[in-house]
Amino acid sequence: MHTALTKKLGIEHPIIQGGMQWIGRAELVAAVSNAGALGTLTALTQPTPEALRDEIARLRTMTDRPFAVNLTFLPTLKPVPYEAYRDVIIDCGVKIVETAGNNPAAHMPALKAAGITVIHKCTTARHALKAQHIGVDMVSIDGFECAGHTGEEDIPGLILIPSAVAKLSIPVIASGGFSDGKGLVAALALGAEGINMGTRFMCTQESPAHLNIKQAIVDNAETDTALILRSLRNSSRVARTQLAQSILDMEKSGASIEEIGPKVSGAKGRRVYEEGDIEGGIWTVGMVQGLIHDIPTCAVLVRRIVDEAEAIIEQRLMALTGRSTV
């Protein structure tokens, strides 16, 4: 299955593993890339730019396939040396970068001068147009179903994806709510050139997430997520836990960011993934968990998605037209 995405990135299948804080490490990224999709290393999972350099080197001992590095620009209590992380990415000869969060315009000259393909993740068609204007090569459009930061406009993928496709002249990648071949076919039908998956790849054998987290995803339904931090206009979709409910209660009572902040600490979220205590911190997950029923290897997952998508196109959809594929 070849699209503008596979041709531009040099991959076999139009599937991307999106950047995920604490999850996008070398083992998962290599497994995804070796399966013919695009694995994405998460820069800020590494504590320092030099640690990122070491992780990129470690990744290259595991795969010779294309991979990306995610660099997410978000407001933080502690300043992040974004330029230093960016420069390590360039120095290491990385060819694909996924940006997310705030506008990456300040970093585009350096990234483009290095010949890097830039994919920007955004949650509205308006932001996608801005990204195209500053020179990104592709956009990954995140529907309201997604894990983590959903934006504040609550537009689901069924509307957001074709809206973005209609407005843009660069390739669009569908993100948020994808886990299988049916989703891939739907994304292609909506005009996207492929799909970006986070939660589905988090629930694989090679994912560094604790087995307790993976099993929770398998056990949970699509209704088992919560949108926190809406009152602060920093909406984030997370697992519906007792801790998440306590944050929702605090927001209803008018709590400030200073009061809520300690409960949403990134360090606590990291321990959730490492130690498996689902109430130990806030952890992001998409509504798509309701469609996830197993914990396969990345190779099995990617092959299954592609085979299912091709079967739907060649058999069911062609049969509906009354025309034979023979």
CA–centroid distance for 12 within its chain:
19
pLDDT at residue 296 greater than cutoff 80: yes
Q: Is 53 exposed, middle or buried (0-12, 13-18, 19+ CB in 10 A)?
A: middle
Q: What's the pLDDT tens digit per position in 228-249?
A: 999 999 999 999 999 999 999 9
Q: Which residues contact 13 (CB under 8 A, 6 or more apart)?
A: 1, 6, 35, 36, 37, 194, 302, 305, 306
Q: How far is CA 168 from CA 73, 109, 138, 141, 238, in A?
A: 23, 21, 10, 11, 30
- Bridge partners of residue 39, in order along the sequence: 67
Gap between the Cα atoms of 34 and 11, Å rounded: 10
Per DSSP, the residues of 152-177 read: SS---HHHHHHHHHHH-SS-EEEESS
Q: What is the set of domains in the chain, with CATH numbers?
A: 4-209+292-321 (3.20.20.70), 211-287 (no CATH)
Closest CA to 292 of 210, 198, 189: 198
Q: What's the pLDDT tens digit per position in 85-97?
A: 999 999 999 999 9
Q: What's the pLDDT tens digit per position in 157-197?
A: 999 999 999 999 999 999 999 999 999 999 999 999 999 99
With residues binned 3-state (H G I as helix, E B as strand, rest as coil), the percentages for the chain, rounded to 5, are 45, 15, 40
Q: What pLDDT is recorded for position 220? A: 98
Q: What pLDDT is recorded for position 324? A: 65
Q: How far is CA 263 from CA 3, 75, 197, 255, in A?
A: 43, 17, 27, 12
Q: What's the pLDDT tens digit per position in 254-292?
A: 999 899 999 998 888 999 999 999 999 999 999 999 999
Gap between the Cα atoms of 59 and 246, Å rounded: 39
Q: What pLDDT is recorded for position 18? A: 95
